[in-house]
Each structure stands twice: as structure tokens, then as C-alpha cells.
Chain A
Amino acid sequence: MIPTRPAQASFRDRTNDFRAAVESARRHAAPSSSSAPAAASSSSTGTLDGLIAATSARSEFTNRASKIGLGIHQASQKLSRLAKLAKRTSVFDDPTVEIQELTAVIKKDITALNTAVVDLQALCNSQNESGSLSKDTTNHSTTVVDNLKNRLMSATKEFKEVLTMRTENLKVHENRRQMFSSSAAKDASNPFIRQRPLGARDPSESSVPPAPWASDSASTPLFQRKKTNGDHGASSSSSQPFAHQQQLAVQQDSYIQSRAEALQNVESTIHELSNIFTQLATMVSQQGELAIRIDENMDDTVTNVEGAQGQLLKYLNSISSNRWLMMKIFFVLMVFLMIFIFFVA
């Protein structure tokens, strides 16, 4: 009777008792009608049948909400895979291609989910404003949308952290590579500078991607850096034959490189500052619900509602007792009669 399951069960499932009781009640109520037993048997064969019929009639809102929820869940699973990959990298075995693919996929997913949530919010607002739904339903839909937004935001934060970790790992690898191969490494010192022909123009122009913090996710400048790393890895081997010809130009190059480094640092600092501001903003808005206890609102509303009910009842009593009403009307009539008599007579 009780389905065996490995989960901790400390409750008794009485559903079967209930169904049996419903059937017997139906049989007692209408022993001659044939439709009732049929309905009863259909309900007893599978609780899911009725539910499936009900779920197909679920509104568009719920369907979309559950799809978004599923999407967020899958995105966070992919994120955990990415995190594992990013941690695993060593100097010589760098699954860069895999990581880049996965990052691109996740980025696409998150942006798609973001637009979906925005759409859902618009749908929810329009439904609520149309006024045809009950107050509970509007509360329910708003809460669902908020919940989805929170989940998406935490997924995005996790994504950003994974990417930051990946960048730091890359930096560490570059330093190690520098230690191992120092001769050709002068050109390879800064992994964030694109390989340029020597004596070229100010490298600072090209290495600042346009307004990285204006875009939605934090990953664009990091993408570009990763791409340069990939390019750079291919071209470092070809620079060795040219090393001795470029001794003179090296000092000038190093000066330019250090300036470029400084600018890169400025950029990352500004970026981190923007992160701080967003974090502050979310912290301020999140203070709300987390620590409220369930029975707090209940108590207050209970007393308010009861007080209001009492007042209303009193008022109802006062206006429904006929005696006073009659006397008031009588009095008003008398006043009119008096005035009438005075003026006419």
C-alpha cells in the first residue's frame, strides 16, 4: 500500500483510503447512474490523469515560467561543468577551445533567458492590469517573476565569477610560462597585448575595447582577451628567429608595453568599481524578504481585518435599525410641514 522508497518517510499516505472512500460515497449517493462509477474509476486509476488534463489547460504564463525555470536549471548545470574545466587547466594542457565554446553557449543561454524573463514580466503586468484576475493570482504571478529574476541573477553572478577565476588562472599560467621560457618571453610578457609589428603606433588604442561595462554581461572584454591569448600562442613561436634583430627596438617596446599594462590595470579597476556599484544596488534591494517570518504579517493583518470588520458591523447595525431611521424621517417631515404651514398660513 505504501510505495517503498529510499527517502526518509515519516508520513502516512492516505490517498488510497481517500479514493476508496470517495468511490463508496459515490456508490451510495447514486447507485443507478452509470456515469459516476466511470468517473470514479477513472480518478482512481491514476491521479495523474486528471492532473495532466488540468495542466494542459494551464495558462501561458505558467508554461513559460516553467520553461524559463528549466532553462535556468540547465544553464547552471552547464556553469558547473565550465567551472570544473576552468579549475582543471594546467600550463600545458589547456582546453581552451572547449572552454570558449561552452562560454559562448552559456552566454547565449543567459541572454535568451534574460529576454524571456523580461517578456514574462511584461505579460504578467499586462495580465494584472487587465483586472480580470483575483488578487491572489496577481500576487502569485508577481512572486513567480521575482523568483525567476533572482535565480537568473545568481546564475549570471556565478558565470561572472567563473570567468574571473579563468582570467586569473590564465595570468598565473602566463607568469609560469615566463619563468620557463625567458628568452623569447620579452614579447610574450603581457598576455593582454595583441601581437603587433614593431615600431607601430600606440598600442593603447586597440587594447581598450569599447565600453565593456555598457554591455549586459561582463564577459566581452574577457572574450577578447582570450582570443588574443589564442592568437598569441600561435605567433610566439614565429618570433624567435627575429629576436636578435629586434634588440634595439626592445627597450622602446618595453616602455610602450608598460604603459599599456598600466592602462589595462586602469580598465580593470574601473570595471571592478562598476561591479561594486551593481553589487551595492542589488544588496540594497534584496534586504526585503529574506528574514521575514511567516506569522508576522498574519498577526497584523488579522488584527486590522478584525478591527475593520467590527467597525463595519457596528455601522451596519446603526443603519439597519429601523427605529432611529423612522424617527429621523418623521422629524424631517415635521420640519417641512412646519415650514409649509408657516409660509402658507
Chain B
Amino acid sequence: MTLSLRRKQLDVIVRMLHLNQQQLPNGGEGQGEDDAYKILVMDQPCISVLSPVLKLGDLRLHGVTLTLNIDRPRQAVPDAPAVYFVRPTPGNVDRIAADAAAGLYVSFHVNFSTSVPRPLLERLATACAAAPPACAGRVARVADQYIDFVCLEDGLFSLAQPRAYIALNDPAAADADITALIDAVALGLFCVVATLGVVPVIRCARGGPAEMVAAALDARLRDHLLAKPNLFTEAASAAVMSFQRPVLCLFDRNFELSVGVQHDWSYRPLVHDVLGLKQNILKLPAEKYELDDSDKFWVANSWSPFPKVAEEIEAQLAKYKQDVDEVNQRTGGGKVGVEFDGTDLIGNTKHLMNAVNSLPELTERKKMIDKHTNIATSLLEHIKERSLDGYCDCENDMLVNGTVDRNTLLSLLRGKGTKEDKLRLAVTYLLSFETPPSSELEQVEAALRESEVDMCAFQYVKRIKALNTQFAAASGTATKSNIVDWAEKLYGQSISAVTAGVKNLLSDGRQLALTRTVEALMEGKPNPEVDDYLLFDPRAPRSGTGGQFKGPFREAVVFMIGGGNYIEYKSLMELEQHSQPSKHVIYGATEILSGAEFIHQLAELGQKAGLGGGSSNIPPGSAQ
């Protein structure tokens, strides 16, 4: 049974909308409260959780009449039950208590997107108790739903925790902040795991935020498993009993920095990077489009390179025109002079009826073709303006072949393209070579300064590399004892992993270090790269190391702390397609960043570390 995160999340939400009552298979004979028309009240983060999964029409099907924002003033609807779906924050709790006291709705079903901590629950209870006696009776149910993640597609999710990378790598960050962030990430991952309903085996690299998150998640899972019945026994008894446990691989962004900044030539990463795709919504200057699983063209062509996409659009357009002509011909519309058999009434009416029935489908196809034509046109404009194809080729050369044509590099740096593009190229250049010759480096820096590019990010990456070379000699075998300064150890491993990947050319093109590692982890065979990865198994007894289940795994959940992007998603999808008994991979990150946004975060870190001077006009990195 393959794990479909989105379907499971949808199931949970639908059940919540039906007031958490048992879903009878034939729609339920005893309707009672289940048939009521309810009001849905949410706060902004939960609205973004719900939007990719359910549309307004679907909500109406489930009996929801109004969707309201908890922060806006609302009026009373005295005869409808209300379903609240909010995050457990004190502000929300106070507002719910105020609504209950004022009696805005007839009954309150309060659902929290993650677990509500005890003090907040007591706060709600005290507020309700202080109000008139009917108030507490109105609150019919309080539940923890554990779905605090945004599931953009079937195999892609995001925890919507912006700026996690900055917070983790900030030299001035307080320990308490980092611990809080790690806890938040662990809670989000717990929600994902709880929705999937299986306890995974956790593997992560040593040192660094990945290990901390893994430890926190392991502790949380163990605590939860102690209570029986718990989420996982119920899930296992319900659906198909799947004996396969997935492996949860945790990675930190520093593991492979180059993927975060490079340019890619496939359709979906291009749209995300150049046009700014957020939460499956694309805002062009003229229009707003939605791109998700229901768009067949998008699903079929998202990983194809851009020229092929343009050809596909043309092919679809030609086919559509053909179909329309056929319909016109049969019903006598369109061209004059086409023979129209006026005597055959029945036949004509039948054709007319078929034509009318096929109208919705034809309009849908036309809309889809128009949408993608507009997207491709604007992409083309941007590409021409910024000569992105040159950047792609150059970066590809550097990362895959390990060679660089100095002239192309310098001409690109001096030529067209936004400042972020040039920075990204320079950072990729830095990351692809262990020791770039210093003359070249100086030329690159000079070219950057000529184009008035802010050097903070560049300097920051340079410093990371410098740290790496310093400690490369010292890091010998990995130690598992107390890791005092995890930053240096981490960088050492990350850069070496990337360069090892570059030198290790595989026959079917370049594979990201991430994909290789995931594949190795899923195979479960001894492999020098992943042998020293830690393993946490929440189901195994805490003491003793016996019975460590190392694989092979059929399913994997890959999580990137600090910002993932569509390029990694694409290479994981390719792994899934090429693997031979079929494997299934789900990819997630704290946020999905485009290359430009990630460069901004790097630059901000460089500024905080006090590197690089010059103009500092860095807008805060916006993330989804």
C-alpha cells in the first residue's frame, strides 16, 4: 500500500468536517446532527493548510456553508454548529472562549491542528467556567487533529516554518531559540507521521540539526507509544495492515548547498523559481492560476525540459482544434458548404446532444491550454531577459563535468541576469571545486563587484568552505561523543559529500547527493557513505542495540531542514520511477524556497556574521 499523504490528510479533514462522527459506509441513515449545515472558522495558517486540499465546492458538499476567519469580527448564527480549526495559541483560545460566552453559534467543535498543551486547555476551561453555565455545555468537543502541515501534492509537503535555515545557522542565535525551533520541527514531523499512521525508522547524519530533530522526534514518539490505545494502533487496526515501515531520512540544508541555489531547466522548477509559485497558486501580472494535481497537463509535463513543454502545448492545441472542428461539422455549424443533412432529425439531435455534453470538457481543455500558453510565454520572456539558459548550462558543466570555461563564466557574470542569478552562479562555482585557483577566484569576485552585486552571500559561502578545509584534516573518523561545535563538523561532511558526488559520475546523468544517500538508505546494504548514519527506532526498546532494522525499505519520507526545493523533489521522483521493485518517496521541508529566496537567506546570514560590506538592500526572504 503506497502512502498518500494528501489523501490521508483529506480523510482527516473530512472526518473533522462531519463533526468527528463515525462515517457509516452508505452515507449514514441516522442523520441527526451529522446532517446539519455547519460554519467553519479558521485562522490564517490553518486556512493555508486547508486550501490546497479542499475547494469551496467540496466544502459545500460536506455541508459547510460559511468559511470565516477567526480574527475578523463575526456575527451570530444562532442555529448552526461551528467547527473551529485553529492552531493552539493563547489568542485563539481566548477568542473561542469569548465566542462561546457570547453564544455566537449553537455548538462548538474545537479542533486544534496539533496537540493543545495542558495549560492552554485549562485556560479555555477557566474562561468557559467563568462565563454563564450554558457556555461550557456549548463546547461539544475538543480534539487534537495532528495535521499541521501543508500538503501541496501527493508526495510533497511543507511545514510552513519560514527562515528555519537562518535561525539554525545564525551565529548569534540563543540556545533557547534553537531548541524551540527544533521542537517545532519535531512536532510538525510528528503530525506527518501520525497522519500517515505508521511509525518509521529514523535515520540521520551525525551532528547538526538533523540529529537533534531526530532525537526530539524519537522521544516524542516513544512517549506517545507508551499510551495504549494510541494513534498508531488505531490506524493499524483500521485500514490495510502494512507490515512495511517507512524510513524517515532527515537532512540538513548544509548537506548539499548547491541544489538550493542552482538554476534548473525543467518546467516546474522554472515556474517556481522565475514566476514565483506559492502554495500551488501562480500570480502573473495579468491573471492568477492554480497549478495542482487536477491539472493534467501540469502533472504530465512538470519534469520535462522547457522546449519540450512548448512542443507539448502546441500538440495539445492542434488536437483541441481538431476536436472542435469535428463537433462543428457534425452539427452543421462552422464552415458554410459542409453538407448538412436536414432530414435526418433524430441523428442531428443526437449529435447536438453529444455536442452539448462534450461542451464542458472542451471548455476545460481550452482553459488549460490557454493557461499553460500564458505561463510559457511569460517564462520565455523572463528567460530571454535573464539569459537563464546560459546559466543553466554553465552550472551544469561545473557540477557534472567538473570543468569550467572561464570565459563563459566571466561573460555571464558581466552580462544579463539579475543580481541573484549572478550570485547563484558564483556560489555554484565555489561549491563545485574544492580548491578553485585563486586567480580565477579573484576574477570572479572582480566581475561580481563590477556588477554591483552584494557580496555577503558569496563571502559567507567562502567562509564555510574555509572552515571545511581547516577541519578536513582534523575530522578523521566520526565520533559519537559530545559534539561541542557541531557547525564545523557538519560543514566538513557536507562539502565532502558534494564533491564526492561530483567525482562519482553515474551512467544515467548526475544524481544529487541527496538521492544517492536516500537510495543507499533504502537499500539497506552496507555502504560506506551511510554506514555511520544514526538510527533511531521508536518501537525498539530503549536499552540495547539489538535488532536494528536497517532495511531494505520500500517507502521513504525524506525531510530537509532549512528549505527544500523542486529540484530535489524532481530527482526523488526520478528515483522512484527508475527503481526496480517500485519504491515510494515522500519529500518535505520546513519551507519550499526558490533559488533567489535562498540566496537572500545566505546573504542575511553573511551580514549577521559581519562579512562583506557594501549595499545591503536585502528584502526578507519570503517563503511558503
| Inter-chain contact B56/A293, CB cutoff 8 Å | yes
Q: How far is the CA of A139 from the CA of B68 in the complex (A)?
A: 11
| Inter-chain contact A58/B106, CB cutoff 8 Å | yes
Which residues of chain A (32-56) have a CB below 8 Å from chain B? Answer: 35-36, 39-40, 42-43, 47, 49-51, 54-55
- Does chain B have a CB within 8 A of A269? yes
- Contacts known (A137-B78, A147-B37); A289 close to B57, Cβ less than 8 A: yes
Q: Which residue of B lies closest to A134 (CB)?
A: B75
- Contacts known (A69-B35, A283-B360); A62 close to B79, Cβ less than 8 A: yes
- Does chain A have a CB within 8 A of B90? no
Q: Which residue of A lies closest to B232 (CB)?
A: A10
| Inter-chain contact B121/A14, CB cutoff 8 Å | yes
- Contacts known (A59-B78, A273-B352); A54 close to B138, Cβ less than 8 A: yes
Q: Which residue of B lies closest to A276 (CB)?
A: B356
Q: How far is the CA of A298 from the CA of B66 in the complex (A)?
A: 12
Q: How far is the CA of A13 from the CA of B22 in the complex (A)?
A: 14
How big is the B interface, by class? Answer: 35 or more
Q: CB < 8 Å: which of A4, A13, A66 contacts B141?
A: A13
| Inter-chain contact A276/B352, CB cutoff 8 Å | yes
Residues of A within 8 A of B56 (CB): 289-294
Residues of A within 8 A of B35 (CB): 66, 69-70, 73
- Does chain A have a CB within 8 A of B137? yes
| Inter-chain contact B65/A73, CB cutoff 8 Å | no
- Contacts known (A66-B36, A144-B65); A289 close to B60, Cβ less than 8 A: yes
Min CB gap B103→A, angstroms: 10
Which residues of chain B (38-68) have a CB below 8 Å from chain A? Answer: 39, 44, 47-48, 50-51, 54-57, 59-60, 63, 65-68
Q: CB < 8 Å: which of A12, A26, A43, A137 contacts B77?
A: A137
Q: Which residue of A lies closest to B37 (CB)?
A: A144
Min CB gap B168→A, angstroms: 29
Q: How far is the CA of A22 from the CA of B55 in the complex (A)?
A: 36
- Does chain A have a CB within 8 A of B95? no
| Inter-chain contact A14/B142, CB cutoff 8 Å | yes
Min CB gap A119→B, angstroms: 18
- Does chain B have a CB within 8 A of A265? yes
Residues of B within 8 A of A26 (CB): 129
Q: How far is the CA of A25 from the CA of B352 in the complex (A)?
A: 70
Which residues of chain B (1-58) have a CB below 8 Å from chain A? Answer: 8, 11-12, 15-16, 20, 22-23, 27, 31, 33, 35-37, 39, 44, 47-48, 50-51, 54-57
| Inter-chain contact A295/B345, CB cutoff 8 Å | no
| Inter-chain contact B60/A8, CB cutoff 8 Å | no
Q: How far is the CA of A291 from the CA of B35 in the complex (A)?
A: 23
Residues of A within 8 A of B80 (CB): 62, 140
- Contacts known (A5-B22, A8-B239, A272-B353); A147 close to B121, Cβ less than 8 A: no
Interface SS, A side? helix
Q: CB < 8 Å: which of A4, A10, A19, A147 contacts B146?
A: A10
- Contacts known (A15-B143, A29-B129, A147-B65); A137 close to B75, Cβ less than 8 A: yes
Q: CB < 8 Å: which of A13, A70, A266, A295 contacts B31?
A: A70
- Does chain B have a CB within 8 A of A129? no
How many residue pairs between the two chains, A and B, have CB atoms under 8 Å in the bound complex? 221
- Does chain A have a CB within 8 A of B505? no
- Contacts known (A50-B138, A54-B106, A140-B65); A18 close to B124, Cβ less than 8 A: yes
- Contacts known (A136-B74, A294-B51); A280 close to B356, Cβ less than 8 A: yes
1/0 per residue B352-364: CB within 8 Å of A?
A: 1100100110000
Q: How far is the CA of A293 from the CA of B136 in the complex (A)?
A: 34
Q: How far is the CA of A66 from the CA of B346 in the complex (A)?
A: 43
Q: Which residue of A lies closest to B349 (CB)?
A: A269
1/0 per residue B585-606: CB within 8 Å of A?
A: 0000000000000000000000
| Inter-chain contact A66/B349, CB cutoff 8 Å | no
Q: CB < 8 Å: which of B51, B234, B352, B353 contacts A8?
A: B234
Which residues of chain B (128-180) have a CB below 8 Å from chain A? Answer: 128-130, 133-134, 136-146
- Does chain B have a CB within 8 A of A234? no
Q: How far is the CA of A269 from the CA of B345 in the complex (A)?
A: 7
Min CB gap A153→B, angstroms: 14
- Does chain A have a CB within 8 A of B290? yes
Min CB gap A33→B, angstroms: 11
Q: CB < 8 Å: which of A7, A10, A21, A50 contacts B125?
A: A21
Q: How far is the CA of A55 from the CA of B346 in the complex (A)?
A: 55
Q: CB < 8 Å: which of B47, B65, B137 contacts A143?
A: B65
- Does chain A have a CB within 8 A of B375? no
Which residues of chain B (574-620) have a CB below 8 Å from chain A? Answer: none
- Does chain A have a CB within 8 A of B111? yes
Q: How far is the CA of A29 from the CA of B126 in the complex (A)?
A: 9
Residues of B within 8 A of A65 (CB): 37
Q: How far is the CA of A26 from the CA of B122 in the complex (A)?
A: 11
| Inter-chain contact A25/B106, CB cutoff 8 Å | no
| Inter-chain contact B37/A140, CB cutoff 8 Å | yes
- Does chain A have a CB within 8 A of B195? yes
| Inter-chain contact A11/B107, CB cutoff 8 Å | no
Q: How far is the CA of A66 from the CA of B33 in the complex (A)?
A: 10
| Inter-chain contact A135/B146, CB cutoff 8 Å | no
Min CB gap B407→A, angstroms: 47
Q: Which residue of B lies closest to A39 (CB)?
A: B133
- Contacts known (A15-B143, A140-B39); A293 close to B195, Cβ less than 8 A: no
- Contacts known (A8-B238, A22-B125, A147-B60); A15 close to B75, Cβ less than 8 A: no
Residues of A within 8 A of B22 (CB): 5-7
Residues of A within 8 A of B111 (CB): 11
Residues of A within 8 A of B75 (CB): 134-137
Q: How far is the CA of A266 from the CA of B344 in the complex (A)?
A: 11
- Does chain A have a CB within 8 A of B194? yes
Q: CB < 8 Å: which of A9, A61, A292 contacts B79?
A: A61
- Does chain A have a CB within 8 A of B229? yes
Q: How far is the CA of A266 from the CA of B8 in the complex (A)?
A: 52
Residues of B within 8 A of A111 (CB): none
| Inter-chain contact A69/B346, CB cutoff 8 Å | no
Min CB gap A64→B, angstroms: 11
- Jot down 26 A-B pairs with beta carbons below 8 A, ordered by A: A5-B22, A6-B22, A6-B237, A8-B239, A9-B234, A9-B235, A11-B12, A12-B115, A14-B116, A18-B125, A26-B129, A42-B137, A66-B31, A134-B76, A135-B75, A137-B77, A143-B65, A144-B37, A269-B349, A276-B353, A290-B57, A291-B56, A293-B56, A294-B47, A294-B56, A296-B288
Closest 5 CB pairs of A and B: A134-B75, A50-B137, A21-B125, A290-B57, A25-B129
Contacts A136-B74, A290-B55, A293-B51 known; 7 new A-B pairs at CB < 8 A: A8-B239, A25-B126, A62-B80, A143-B37, A268-B346, A295-B51, A298-B69
